[in-house]
Amino acid sequence: MTKIETWEDTGQGYPLRWWVLPIVCLPTLAMLLDGNIVFIALPAIGDTFRDFPNLGEWVLASFSLVAAALSLPAGELGDRIGLRKVFSWGLWLFILGSGICFFAFKGWILILGRVICACGAAILAPVALACLRRIFPPKEQAIAFGYWSASVTIGTVIGPFLGGFLEHIASWHWVFFAPVVPAAIGLLGLPLLPLLPAKQISFKPDYIGITTIGFAIFFFLFFLMESPNLSPSLNILIICLFLLTVVMWRQSANKPSAVIPLNIITRNSWYVPSVLQLFIRALFVFVMTCLTVYFQEGRSLSALDTSIHILPLSILSGVVSLASGYLEKSFGVKYLMMATLTLTALGFWSLRDIPLSGFDGGDWFGIVAFGILYGNTAQLSHQALVHFSKSQAMRGSAINTLTINLGLALGAAIYSIFISIALPLNLKQQSNWQFPVEIPSSVQEILNQVDQNLHTSSHSQSLQALQESLAHSFGFGFALCAISCLIAIAITYSMRPFSSN
């Protein structure tokens, strides 16, 4: 009996692919909205749950940590069960987690909601990328990824502003309700998406690889986040557990069924764009958190005013992401990223001296430059995903999602470490700071110390010292960002084009 060819067999792409593209992109928009809307609310969340130390950092890191650790199991589910079915699971989990965050009245309940939300995101992100790989022919994929990136950036654009607006008219709880709207629309439109059934896979899942990589990510990020607050013996134990899980993964990584195939990730054309993507995502969280704290605590702006100040970065990212597919076709990923990294390095260097009075023209150049860089990250995802065949589209997307979420979690951890050391050091140099300060100390701990002396004569002087120290700390942080961009340029220069051989 002659087999009837489907649109996947012919390689022409799904006939209604451009019509269902918004359905694929809406859950991604919901995730990015969820990730970016919360930045503005972090100070208010910290004020609400003062008994939960470093809650703001954990609101960010818990989401990225869990999403990173579960992205590989999600990839296995998509390849073996079917993309549309797994997509619906991810949407329900995401909506449930957002609802728990909305009604949270304790810090631990908020973290629980973020964890459940991250379980859904771990499924949604790789499924969206895998769908693009399967429903679009190769010649249209760069442009499709550019439009998908637009949904990423629209979430980035409206997230901070919407977060500031909702907190201004209501409370921080509502920032967790907003992402439910595009997720619910995506759930309603899911029947229009082709079934995209599971591909026939002859080997069993790599349970050892999935488990060891998940635990390795957890131990690594937990160490970065909490090592200053743990005893030396406990830190040594976590390091040993991390190394043990890495060794166990390495022993099983050469099998044909390995969840992260070494024959692919050791190629220059895969690991260079992946390292760059991890770096830029980490940079994004670091920069956004610095800007939010600088405007709200350093300049005493409201959440709404803070979101308006961050808007130029978001708008530039959105405009560039829409054009990124066409730019990649014209210049290539390598030279496109080298040019934008150079521009960003110059921009960050201009931010090394931040005035408390507000940004000037040179400072805004730094914000705009980074927006242009961030808008082109979708092409790095495309460059990494072409290494995987359509039968392994979900696995490739899961590894790419792991890279993205690892970068986001790393950015939150690096910010937490940086500010807990840089801020106390700068405070010790301020003559009008009159309270003892320990290293490390979080911003929230120092703010609590200032608030305890609200009605004393030293309060205004201490507040001014804190604001000046924040500006100096973030200026130094942006200078380090500029140096890291120069290193990234050198890495980008070594990038080789993908070859199927």
- Residue 492's pLDDT is 93
* Domain ranges for the chain: 13-206+255-425+473-493, 207-254
Q: Is the pLDDT of residue 255 over 80?
A: no
Q: Which of the four pLDDT bands, split at 50, 70 and 90, describes residue 361?
A: low
- Residue 501's pLDDT is 52
- Residue 1's pLDDT is 44
Least confident of 56-65, 89-98, 314-323, 420-429: 314-323
CA angle, residues 470, 474, 480, in degrees to nearest 5: 150
How many C-alpha atoms does 467 have within 13 Å on its Cβ side? 17
The mean pLDDT of the chain is 80
Average pLDDT for 451-478: 77
- Residue 477's pLDDT is 92
Q: In the 8-state DSSP scheme, what is residue 100?
A: H
Q: Is the pLDDT of residue 21 over 50?
A: yes
Q: Is the pLDDT of residue 442 over 70?
A: no
- Residue 6's pLDDT is 64
Q: Which of the four pLDDT bands, split at 50, 70 and 90, describes residue 488?
A: very high
Average pLDDT for 227-242: 86
Q: Is the pLDDT of residue 240 over 90?
A: yes
Q: Report the C-alpha gap between 210 and 310 in whole angstroms.
A: 38
Q: Which of the four pLDDT bands, split at 50, 70 and 90, describes residue 8?
A: low
How far the first Cα of the chain sits from its last, in Å, is 35
- Residue 227's pLDDT is 75
CB neighbour class for 498 (10 Å; exposed up to 12, middle 13-18, buried from 19): middle
Amino acid at 237: L
Distance between alpha carbon 167 and the CA centroid of its chain, in Å?
A: 22
Least confident of 72-76, 161-165, 322-326, 483-487: 322-326
Average pLDDT for 442-464: 68
| Rg of the chain taking only CA atoms, in angstroms | 23
Domain range 13-206+255-425+473-493, CATH class: mainly alpha
Give tens-digit pLDDT for 295-307: 877 777 777 777 7
- Is residue 10 within 8 Å of 167, Cβ to Cβ? no
The token duo for 290 is 């610095």
- Residue 122's pLDDT is 84
Q: Is the pLDDT of residue 2 over 50?
A: no
**More confidently predicted of 487 and 291:** 487
- Residue 99's pLDDT is 93
Proportion of the chain above pLDDT 90, given as a percent: 14
Distance between alpha carbon 496 and the CA centroid of its chain, in Å?
A: 26
How long, in residues, is the chain? 501
Q: Which of the four pLDDT bands, split at 50, 70 and 90, describes residue 422?
A: confident
Average pLDDT for 28-56: 80
Using alpha carbons, select from 139, 34, 147 the residue that is nearest to residue 379: 147
Q: Report the C-alpha gap between 295 and 495 in whole angstroms.
A: 37
